[in-house]
């Protein structure tokens, strides 16, 4: 496919998921965003993401002050990204030096598992791929990743030198994935969408008529029925084993090295029906409506 026809850009945060390296996103999620099935940038940030948006600019400022370098922020989501000369690779680094020779990224983490000592390039592989992509896009010479762990209140700085051989392999693999799945006239879905993404995509549906099943639908229905029956049998067996263990525990707190059976206070519940009947104004003040959702009810039977 020629560069002029490429419909989308691949950002640095897309690279790790595309390559199956991300602990948070699957390749098919990136695919759905790149082909327009899902929003490219979701409006619902997680608590961890919101924390990062608050803390990361401070980390960048800390790096600039302690290293004595001038930094300028990278382009925000509301503005176009930095695009490589080939027209399809892009990035939005947290900050760069004015000459764009240094790329700076800031991250927060709950633990230091997978991180090396400060001053090394030992960052988790998904972050390493992100910074390598940024260096390639911007033709920068070096990267810095500042990481903060609130659990022990520690800040570490990692220095990442450009590795052109690694970049070439990275770009080749991502380009091959794009050529296989995104750039064809008819994009090729790499895997089924996870249920959470399907639910978010069709959250407000469910008001039209029924779809007539084809042979593939029936095959999947039979497989799902089999899995559900097997799951019920496994759940029943698990409950029987748990009952035996709890009987063995009896009045004690648990079985050493196996399980505990802890005492818990009774659950407090609010009688919402009475609240609405006797104090309707209070009920209205404390009632909120969640986002639309749908419930999947499986009714397949081989006898139908």
Question: Which pLDDT score, from 0 to 100, does residue 32 have?
Answer: 94
Question: Which pLDDT score, from 0 to 100, does residue 7 have?
Answer: 61
Residue-wise DSSP of 172-220: HHHHHHHHHHTSSSS---SSPPPHHHHHHHTTT---S-PPPP-HHHHHH
Please report, for the domain that includes residue 98, its CATH number: 3.90.320.10
Domain assignment present for residue 272? The answer is: no
Contact 217, 52 (CB under 8 A): no
Residues 186, 218 within the same domain:
no
Residues 124, 229 within the same domain:
no
How many domains does the structure of the chain reveal? 2
What domain range is 243 assigned to?
A: 213-249
Domain assignment present for residue 18? The answer is: yes
Backbone angles phi, psi at 176, to 5 degrees: -60, -40
CA distances from 162 to 12, 117, 145, 189, 304 (A): 15, 19, 13, 33, 62
Residues 171, 52 within the same domain:
yes
Question: Which pLDDT score, from 0 to 100, does residue 2 have?
Answer: 42
Domain assignment present for residue 76? The answer is: yes
Cα dihedral 135, 116, 52, 89, rounded to 10, equals 20
Question: Which pLDDT score, from 0 to 100, does residue 77 have?
Answer: 87
Question: Which pLDDT score, from 0 to 100, does residue 3 have?
Answer: 45
The two three-digit tokens of residue 260, written as one number: 């505990």
pTM for the model stands at 0.76
Paired strand residues for 95: 73, 104
- Cα 290 to chain centroid distance, Å, stands at 22
Residues 236, 182 within the same domain:
no
Residues 86, 35 within the same domain:
yes
Element (H, E) at 170: helix 164-181
Residues 170, 230 within the same domain:
no
CA distances from 17 to 29, 50, 85, 177 (A): 8, 20, 23, 11
pLDDT in tens, the chain (304 residues): 444 444 689 999 999 999 999 999 999 999 999 999 888 876 555 666 677 678 889 999 999 999 999 999 999 988 999 999 999 999 999 999 999 999 999 999 999 999 999 999 999 999 999 999 999 999 999 999 999 999 899 999 999 999 999 999 999 999 999 999 999 999 999 999 988 888 888 888 888 888 898 999 999 999 999 999 999 999 999 999 999 999 999 999 999 999 999 988 888 888 989 999 999 999 899 888 888 888 888 888 876 5
Residues 101, 231 within the same domain:
no
Question: Which pLDDT score, from 0 to 100, does residue 1 have?
Answer: 43
């Amino acid at each position: 496919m020629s560069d002029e026809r490429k419909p989308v850009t691949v950002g640095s945060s897309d690279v790790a998921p595309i390559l199956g390296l991300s602990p948070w996103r699957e390749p098919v999620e990136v695919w759905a965003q790149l082909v327009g099935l899902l929003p490219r940038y979701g409006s619902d940030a997680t608590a961890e993401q919101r924390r990062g948006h608050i803390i990361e600019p401070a980390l960048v400022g800390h790096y600039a002050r302690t290293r004595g370098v001038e930094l300028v922020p990278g382009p925000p989501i509301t503005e176009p990204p930095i695009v490589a000369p080939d027209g399809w690779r892009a990035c939005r680094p947290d900050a760069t030096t004015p000459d764009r020779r240094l790329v700076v990224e800031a991250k927060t983490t709950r633990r230091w598992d997978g991180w090396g000592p400060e001053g090394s390039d030992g960052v988790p592989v998904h972050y390493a791929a992100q910074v390598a992509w940024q260096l390639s896009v911007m033709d920068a010479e070096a990267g810095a990743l500042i990481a903060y762990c609130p659990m022990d209140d520690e800040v570490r700085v990692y220095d990442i030198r450009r590795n052109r051989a690694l970049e070439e392999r990275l770009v080749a693999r991502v380009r091959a994935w794009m050529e296989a799945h995104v750039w064809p006239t008819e994009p090729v879905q790499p895997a089924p969408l996870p249920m959470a993404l399907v639910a978010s995509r069709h959250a407000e549906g469910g008001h039209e008529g029924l779809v007539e099943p084809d042979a593939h639908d029936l095959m999947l229905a039979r497989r799902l029925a089999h899995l559900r029956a097997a799951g019920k049998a496994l759940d029943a067996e698990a409950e029987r084993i748990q009952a035996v263990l709890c009987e063995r525990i009896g009045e004690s707190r648990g079985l050493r090295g196996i399980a505990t059976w802890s005492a818990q206070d009774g659950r407090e519940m609010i009688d919402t029906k009475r609240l609405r009947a006797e104090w309707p104004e209070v009920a209205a003040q404390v009632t909120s409506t969640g986002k639309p959702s749908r419930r999947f009810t499986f009714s397949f039977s081989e006898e139908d």
